[in-house]
Structure formats: structure tokens, C-alpha cells
A and B are shown apart, each in its own frame.
Chain A
Amino acid sequence: MNAPLIVFFVLAVVAILGAISLILQRHPIHSALSLIVVMVALAGLYLLMGAEFVAAVQIIVYGGAIMVLFVFVIMLLNAGSEERTNISKMAGWAGLPLAIALMGFLAAAVARSTDRVQAAAQTGAPAPTKALATLLFQDFVYPFELTSFLILVAILGAIVLAQRDQKESHL
């Protein structure tokens, strides 16, 4: 077994254990920490695939900004452990089998789809960040500008939603 394969399996196991921990923890802050573990493991996998810039963005934006936002809201709302209420009957009975079936179908579908991908694959030269920048700012410059507009709208929306009204507000 070669070294990249071992690294892959270690990171994959860390990611899956983190995801399972996210499901099993009862306190949201523990779930958030589990999710950070998953994201760091995924960043390692991106590095393994030669996507350095995406790995850096994953750590900085996902592991940093977004998860800090989550932890901040959890602490702001002083969210305690999840109270146990009766789960809806349908989710309780059909949820787990259907979710596992979905997982199996997805895995089977994507695994079968890779035959053609493997045929088309080159020797897998690592992607330089410079080429990514060229692609992002030339071919995808219009969607890129649109995302900045999306961010602006999201900031305005978050401010409008979270501000305290003078009048009595309804949800």
C-alpha cells in the first residue's frame, strides 16, 4: 500500500467519524466541533488531490469564518442540549432505511460513472493556483461578479432579519 492511499484512508476515516459524531452529539457546540473536524479532514483530502487553493479556502472560509459564525450563534442563543421530543412517525420508521438506501444508490451511481472518467483521466498533474485564477477571472468572471452581489444581498438580509424592531414584530 503506497503512502497517499494510507493518508487517504486515515483522512476518510477521520471525516466519517466526525460526521457520525455530528449525528450522535446532543449538544450543538459538540456537533459544531465535529463538523470542524470533518472540514479539516476534507481540506487534507483536497491537498492530496493537488487542489491547494481550495484546501486553503476550505480551512479559512469554512473552518474559520462559517464555523465561527455557527459557534457565535450557539453561544449567543445559549443553546443547551437538545430536548428529546417525539420524532415524527414517518421520520422514525422510514428515515434511516431511506437515508441508507440513498447513500447506497449515490455510491453505486458515482462509482459506476467513473469508468468513463478513468478512461479520460490524464496522469493527474496537480492543478496550479495560477491556472485556477485565470479560469475564475476570465471564463467565470460574470458568475464571480454575481456572487459578490449575492454576498451583498445576504449581508443586508441578515441585518434586516436580526435587527430588533421598535414595533412588535411577528415571524
Chain B
Amino acid sequence: MIPTHYYLILSAVLFGLGVIAFIFRRNIITIFMSIELMLNAVNLAFVAFSQAWNRLDGQVFVLFVIVVAAAEAAVGLGIIILIQRNRQSLNVERVDLLKL
């Protein structure tokens, strides 16, 4: 049996890579995908804890996270289409109306 902390460390590494992608990428679609990556990392931790405690609650939470991710993707991609329509660019640096 694989120790639980292997899964948790993998989850932390994937989450960190998602944070790095979030900080360094300029394309708003890629930034959105890095959020999905972070959600996936959290799901992995949920399932690992669910297995470690031998309880199923963690897996139910994973299903809820997936539902929220789907809803978020639908709304977020709608917003991306609006940004492209109004700014003719997907670069987040060009969405700077609130910047001083």
C-alpha cells in the first residue's frame, strides 16, 4: 500500500506548479487552466485523505469540487469571450482599466 503522504506531496507539488503557471502566464485561457490544475491537486488530496481515513466523505467533496469547476469553467469562458470581444486581446496585461 502506498503511503498517504506520497499522494499529499504530489498534490502540493501540482498545486505549486498551478500557482507558478498562474503567476507567470499572460494568456487568460492558460491562467484559467492553471486554476483547474490547482483544483485537481486539491481533489487528489481529498481522495488521498478519504482513503487514509477509510471514509467516503472526501470522494463526495471531490464530486462537488468537480461540479463547481464545471460551473466556473462555463462562466469564466463566457467572460473570456467578452474580454476578447471588447479588447481584441487575450493578454491579461491589456485588461488594465483599474490600473493606476
Least CB distance, B17 to chain A, in whole angstroms: 4
A151/B70 in contact, CB under 8 A: yes
CA A57 to CA B1, docked complex, whole Å: 24
6 new A-B contacts at CB < 8 Å, known A62-B40, A83-B26, A106-B15: A23-B17, A31-B29, A38-B14, A45-B44, A49-B7, A69-B74
Known A-B contacts A91-B24, A162-B82; A79 and B51 likewise in contact (beta carbons under 8 Å): no
> Which residues of B1-54 are within 8 A (CB) of A?
1-21, 23-27, 29-30, 32-34, 36-37, 40, 43-45, 47-54
| Closest Cβ neighbor of B62 among chain A residues | A54
Q: Tell me how many residues of A have a C-beta within 8 Å of chain B.
A: 85
Q: Is A122 an interface residue (CB 8 A)?
A: yes
Interface residue ranges, B against A (CB under 8 Å): 1-21, 23-27, 29-30, 32-34, 36-37, 40, 43-45, 47-54, 56-57, 59-60, 62-64, 66-75, 77-84, 86-87, 90-91, 93
Of B8, B62, B69, B82, which contacts A114 at CB under 8 A? Answer: B8
From 81 to 116 in chain A, residues with beta carbon under 8 angstroms from any chain B beta carbon are: 82-87, 91, 95-96, 99-100, 102-103, 106-107, 110-111, 113-114
B residues less than 8 Å from A132 (CB atoms):
56, 59-60
